[in-house]
DNA sequence: CACGTTATGACAACACCGTTGACCTGGAAA
DNA sequence: TTTCCAGGTCAACGGTGTTGTCATAACGTG
């Protein structure tokens, strides 16, 4: 077998399926995205995708080496969708907020693609464009280079990691997702004040807060901290304690 | 069938397996964690776990309702490993920093398991203890209830999501991980200043920064923003939107 | 227009997976 | 000593991704 997949631009004979559809990389990726959006997390299987396309499942292996290959193609399309919609205004804080929320929202629309994707460095066109855009916003705002890179790193990793976390929740089978909702209402909200005073005291707030994503609040906090540092750079004074705390990094990896 | 699983404390007859091992919740969870660590996340299947334990796969269904139930038990054990080591000092900011870095580190020690579990709400003992502890630290520091819950949410989700992001990198096959490292050095560091001025200007810093985790820096920014809000609550001026009157907190639990 | 070539879709099979109903058996309780 | 049933075992079901083989329609060529 070895190499049955052919690059899209090298295709010459487009033969219709038994059911009449003409396959293409583009059609397959779009159908996969639609399948995910319409029927939830577990709906993306080779067999179901084949059925949705009106083709034998094995026909897909003429277009993608395996399911991971297919998912990366979906991921690339996702990044593009986010970036193509973004229009910067020139106000750095508003622009980062908008971009962060847009990325987060677009990833939530396709949870399992986000899950398998958002920890990868692709080095492809859209990703490069994103890096350039964000760094431009920060340097344009007056952040010194080193600080701009640090804030960029936090911003991007935070956005992607929250996207993954929230996507993981969305990607859960319906039963498990309801069980998580129920854990807050059924378990935490009923703990006695004697044994768990802090949970008991905050239970109503806790139930309401944990039902939604923490990303918007986390983003605001990071933006606020970034602005504070920007002020410190512009009007130099003593840096706030812990601003450069010595902490172990992850190491080269 | 309906209910074949029996709670651990209600077990009375412990019959050895055909191969001689005596099963228990504890033994199964530990074996699962070992399996994941040694052979990757994909190695955790009921059949393989059964084989590793020297038992029929279906025997596990006497201890866990399904594989998801087992996974939640693994997740809680992971939380427990962090929590058992933690000793609070009473200084809220230092305690949260320590706890966050400890959790992050412990999750990195089991990247594959972290990936599978860190988006889950287990509702089990260790998780409850963690919630109570963190809320106690924040309320003890003087955060009003609503603010304490909000900061708790950001802190926990940020820690877990970064843990997942960094775990995903660690869990990549060696080849893919090297490819990511190379993308920064080989692709980004070589982009021409004409087309990508911001990347080119910051390339050396970028390569150095992106090689490590963004979590410590992100954590510092969130802690700084939290402290700023706490200050606003304590020395009343124009309160930040959403802030409430201060409530005397209790000591850390 | 007819003719090979061959790209590409279809089929069938493989090895796994989680899960469950029925069975059997040995340990504990009486 | 007897009884009972918790708990381990077996076999089967329907699902999954993947691939070796075959059939055929679409193309380049004459």
Which is more confident, B252 or B47?
A: B47
Over residues B153-171, mean pLDDT: 90
Of the partner residues A160, A169, A183, the one whose CB lies closest to the CB of residue B119: A169
Which is more confident, B204 or A173?
A: B204
- Res A217: pLDDT: 97
Which residue does chain A place closest to B145, by CA atoms? A202
Residue nearest to nucleotide C21 (CA to C1'): B1
- Res A109: pLDDT: 82
CA-based nearest distance B19→chain A, Å: 34
Of the partner residues A158, A242, A253, the one whose CB lies closest to the CB of residue B93: A242
Domain spans of chain B, in order of start:
90-233
Q: Cβ of residue A12 near strand D, that is under 7 Å?
A: yes
B83 has pLDDT over 60: yes
Strand D: positions under 7 A of a protein C-beta atom: 6-11, 15-21, 24-28
- pLDDT range class, residue A174, cuts 50, 70, 90: low
| Through-space separation of residue B43 CA and nucleotide D7 C1' in angstroms | 26
A132 has pLDDT over 70: yes
Superfamily of domain B90-233: Tetracycline Repressor, domain 2 (1.10.357.10)
- Res A245: pLDDT: 39
- Res B239: pLDDT: 44
- In 3D space, the residue among B239, B243, B129 whose CA is nearest the CA of residue A199 turns out to be B129
For the ranges B6-20, B85-99, B212-226, the lowest mean pLDDT is seen at B6-20
- pLDDT range class, residue B162, cuts 50, 70, 90: very high
- The CA–CA distances, whole Å, from A23 to A49, A55, B31 equal 12, 8, 45
Q: What is the CATH number of domain A88-234?
A: 1.10.357.10
Strand C: positions under 7 A of a protein C-beta atom: 6-12, 16-22, 25-29
Task: Classify burial at A152, counting beta carbons within 10 Å of its beta carbon; exposed 0-12, middle 13-18, buried 19 or more.
Answer: buried
Contact B136 A187 (CB under 8 A): no
- In 3D space, the residue among A220, A196, A103 whose CA is nearest the CA of residue B131 turns out to be A196
Q: Which residues of B touch A132 (CB under 8 A)?
A: 196-199
Over residues B2-31, mean pLDDT: 80
Which residue does chain A place closest to B214, by CA atoms? A154
- Per-residue burial over B70-109, b if 16 or more Cβ lie within 10 Å, else e, is bbbbbbbbbbbbbbeeeebeeebbebbbebbbbbbebbbe
Over residues B226-230, mean pLDDT: 95
């Amino acid at each position: 077998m070895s190499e049955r997949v052919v690059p899209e631009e090298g295709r010459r004979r487009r033969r219709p399926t038994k059911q009449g559809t003409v396959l293409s990389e583009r059609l397959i990726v779009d159908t996969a995205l639609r399948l995910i959006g319409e029927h939830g997390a577990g709906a993306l299987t080779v067999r179901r995708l084949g059925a949705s396309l009106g083709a034998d499942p094995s026909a897909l292996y003429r277009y993608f080496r395996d399911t991971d290959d297919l998912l990366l193609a979906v991921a690339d399309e996702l990044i593009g969708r986010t970036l193509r919609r973004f229009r910067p205004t020139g106000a750095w804080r508003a622009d980062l907020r908008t971009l962060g929320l847009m990325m987060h929202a677009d990833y939530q629309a396709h949870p399992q693609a986000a899950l398998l994707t958002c920890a990868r460095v692709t080095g492809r066109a859209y990703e490069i464009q994103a890096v350039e855009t964000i760094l431009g916003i920060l340097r344009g705002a007056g952040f010194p280079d080193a600080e701009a890179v640090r804030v960029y790193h936090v911003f991007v990793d935070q956005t992607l990691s929250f996207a993954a976390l929230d996507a993981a929740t969305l990607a859960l089978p319906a039963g498990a997702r309801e069980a998580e909702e129920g854990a807050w209402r059924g378990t935490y909200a009923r703990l006695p004040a004697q044994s768990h005073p802090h949970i008991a005291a905050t239970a109503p707030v806790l139930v309401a807060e944990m039902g939604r994503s923490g990303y918007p609040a986390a983003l605001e906090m990071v933006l606020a901290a970034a602005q504070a540092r920007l002020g410190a750079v512009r009007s130099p004074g003593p840096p706030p304690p812990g601003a450069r705390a010595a902490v172990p990094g992850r190491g080269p990896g």
